[in-house]
Structure 1
Amino acid sequence: MKQILFVDDKPAIGKVLSAYLGKENELIYFEDPIRAIEWLNEGNEPTLIISDLHMPRMNGCEFLHYLKEHTLFKHIPFVMLSSEENSAERISLLEAGAEDYILKPFSPVELKNHVKKFL
């Protein structure tokens, strides 16, 4: 079973992802990227990381940069979720190492299809 780390400050989205991705994968959910980093630093290594862009204590861009700067995590595929349809920001995040950028609101089936290519 593949392990997906999902980080979003809105628990409702975590429930939606759990319903669509949790049947075939183990979904690990945190509302805070800082707690997710602590979990990763405990030796956990997910197959994929999905993160929201806008969160209070650390945003998704900072989280992405942290992961891509660390040898232990930079190889893990990273998918960014955002409600902003900002082309420059999307390009910047893809250039920083995100493998995909998905706009909210998203279709859970569409997200599942995007995620399949990284699992």
Structure 2
Amino acid sequence: MSKQVLLVDDKPEIAKIIMLYLATYEIKYVENPVKAIAWLKEGNMPDLIISDLNMPEMSGEEFLRYIKTDEMFSHIPVLILSSVESSFNRVRLFEEGAEDFILKPFNPEELRVRVKRLLR
């Protein structure tokens, strides 16, 4: 059975690239954290969440905080994507519970390898 990845990104063109490189996984794509939370509350339980950081309505950091403080979902690993290079932000995200962080623009092959490692 293939692993399921929840992909949360407000840019469909980025999502298409990610889905192409992670085609061996079952990908559920939503364009914002509010929809992602609704999908999770329907009883869906992905093996990994990949979330952009800068999104409208709710930031990726707020979404991460929600996931990691809800005991239903806190066990799900979260990989954060961001176009902002900041060591301070990365440290804060790791403190909030993110398992990994990738800077955009990213090497799709690196993303594939990191996802594989997180899903072991």
Fold conserved between structures, TM > 0.5:
yes
Name the CA distance, whole Å, in 1 between partners of 2:98 and 2:92: 9
Displacement of 1:106 after TM fit? 0.2
Name the CA distance, whole Å, in 1 between partners of 2:19 and 2:78: 17
Name the CA distance, whole Å, in 2 between partners of 1:87 and 1:31: 26
Percent sequence identity over aligned pairs: 56
TM-score (norm 2): 0.97
Name the CA distance, whole Å, in 1 between partners of 2:118 and 2:76: 9
Name the CA distance, whole Å, in 2 between partners of 1:13 and 1:50: 12
Structure 1 consecutive aligned stretches of length 4 or more whose deviation exceeds 3 Å: none
Name the CA distance, whole Å, in 2 between partners of 1:104 and 1:50: 13
Displacement of 1:79 after TM fit? 0.3
> Pairwise mapping of residues 53-68 of structure 1 onto structure 2 (< 5 A)?
53-68=53-68
Displacement of 1:43 after TM fit? 0.3
SS of the residue corresponding to residue 68 of structure 1 reads helix
Q: Residue 108 of structure 2 corresponds to which residue in structure 1?
A: 108
Unaligned runs of 5+ in 2: none
Unaligned runs of 5+ in 1: none
TM-score (norm 1): 0.98
Displacement of 1:118 after TM fit? 1.2
Q: 1:49-80: CA deviations, max 9, x gaps?
A: 00000001000000000001100100000000
